[in-house]
C-alpha cells in the first residue's frame, strides 16, 4: 500500500520514501506513477469529491530511491519550488559504489554538460559553453569486500550529478552501467538513495528534517551496522 511509504504529512505537504524503480511522474512508458497513486489514495482516504492537487517541487530519477516531497497546495508548491531552486535546502544521499574513493572524504568540483541525446551528464573543461559547475561533498561510511557505502551532500543540483561525479573519480555507483559500473542491478535499479532533506516549511516558521531508510534488501543490508535503524524516518520542527 502506498501509505506505507509516507514519511510525513500535514495540510500543505507530504513526503514519501520512493521505491527504486518507481516512476514519479507520468511519462511515455505509460507505467503507473507515484504522483497518480498518491492522488488516488488521498481522494479515497479523505472522500474528496473533486480532483486532488499535488505538485512536484523537485525530482528523483526512476532508478533512485528515497525522500521525495510533494506539495498539497499551490502556495506550498510555489514556496517549495523557490527553496529547491535557490538551494535553500540540504540534501544528503547514500550511494553504494563499486570502488573505494582514494580519499575517505573530499569535496568534488567538476563542470557538467548535459547530453540530451544520450541522457547523460558529461565532464567537460571549466567554462565550456553550455556547462555548469557541479559541487558535492562525500565521506566514506563503510566497506565490504566488493562495495562501499558513501554519504554525499549536494552543494549544487545538476542532471545526473552524483552519478557523473562519482564515476569521474573511478567510483561508479553499483548498477549504473551508463556511468561505468561493471553490471546492472535487477530491474535496472541504482544503489543511490535520497536519505535526508532539510528544508523550511512553506507556510510555518519551522524547519523540516525528513529522513528515509534505504531499501531493505541486498546490497544495502551489507551496511546495516553503519546505518540508523529503520525507524529513523523523522521530522523536526524549529522553535
Question: What whole-number distance in Å separates Cα of residue 3 and Cα of residue 143?
Answer: 33
The pLDDT value given to residue 229: 64
The full DSSP string for 45-73 is: HTT-SSPPP-B--S---TT-EEEEEEESS
Q: Which long-range contacts (CB under 8 A, 24 or more apart) does 38-43 make?
A: 38/2, 38/14, 38/70, 41/2, 41/3
Q: Domains of the chain: which residue ranges?
A: 2-232
Residue 67 near residue 197, CB atoms below 8 Å: yes
The pLDDT value given to residue 148: 98
The pLDDT value given to residue 239: 46
Q: In a structure prediction context, what are the per-residue pLDDT tens digits for the chain, which is 239 residues long?
A: 798 999 999 999 999 999 999 999 988 888 889 999 999 999 999 999 999 999 999 999 999 999 999 999 999 999 999 999 999 999 999 999 999 999 999 999 999 999 999 999 999 999 999 999 999 999 999 999 889 999 999 999 999 999 999 999 999 999 999 999 999 998 889 999 999 999 999 998 888 999 999 999 999 999 988 776 654 445 555 44
Outline where the chain has alpha helix (H).
34-45, 74-85, 161-168
The pLDDT value given to residue 120: 94
Q: Which residue has the cell 497546495?
A: 73
Q: Which fold has domain 2-232?
A: Pseudouridine synthase (3.30.2350)
The pLDDT value given to residue 231: 46
Amino acid at each position: 500500500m502506498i501509505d506505507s511509504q509516507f514519511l510525513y504529512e500535514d495540510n500543505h505537504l507530504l513526503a514519501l520514501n520512493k521505491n527504486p524503480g518507481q516512476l514519479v511522474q507520468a511519462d511515455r512508458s505509460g507505467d503507473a506513477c507515484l504522483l497518480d497513486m498518491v492522488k488516488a489514495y488521498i481522494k479515497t482516504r479523505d472522500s474528496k469529491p473533486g480532483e486532488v492537487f499535488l505538485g512536484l517541487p523537485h525530482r528523483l530519477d526512476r532508478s533512485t530511491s528515497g525522500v521525495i516531497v510533494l506539495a498539497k497546495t499551490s502556495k506550498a508548491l510555489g514556496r517549495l519550488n523557490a527553496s529547491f531552486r535557490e538551494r535553500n535546502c540540504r540534501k544528503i544521499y547514500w550511494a553504494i559504489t563499486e570502488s573505494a574513493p582514494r580519499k575517505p572524504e573530499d569535496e568534488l568540483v567538476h563542470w557538467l554538460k548535459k547530453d540530451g541525446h544520450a541522457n547523460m551528464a558529461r565532464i567537460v573543461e571549466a567554462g565550456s559553453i553550455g556547462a555548469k559547475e557541479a559541487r558535492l561533498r562525500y565521506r566514506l561510511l563503510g566497506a565490504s569486500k566488493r562495495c562501499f557505502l558513501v554519504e554525499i551532500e549536494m552543494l549544487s543540483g545538476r542532471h545526473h550529478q552524483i552519478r557523473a561525479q562519482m564515476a569521474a573519480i573511478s567510483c561508479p555507483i553499483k548498477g549504473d552501467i551508463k556511468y561505468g559500473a561493471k553490471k546492472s542491478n535487477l530491474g535496472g535499479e541504482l544503489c543511490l538513495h535520497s536519505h535526508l532533506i532539510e528544508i523550511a516549511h512553506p507556510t510555518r516558521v519551522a524547519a523540516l528534517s525528513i529522513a528515509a531508510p534505504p531499501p531493505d534488501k541486498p546490497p544495502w543490508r551489507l551496511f546495516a551496522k553503519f546505518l540508523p535503524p529503520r525507524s529513523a524516518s523523522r521530522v523536526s520542527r524549529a522553535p
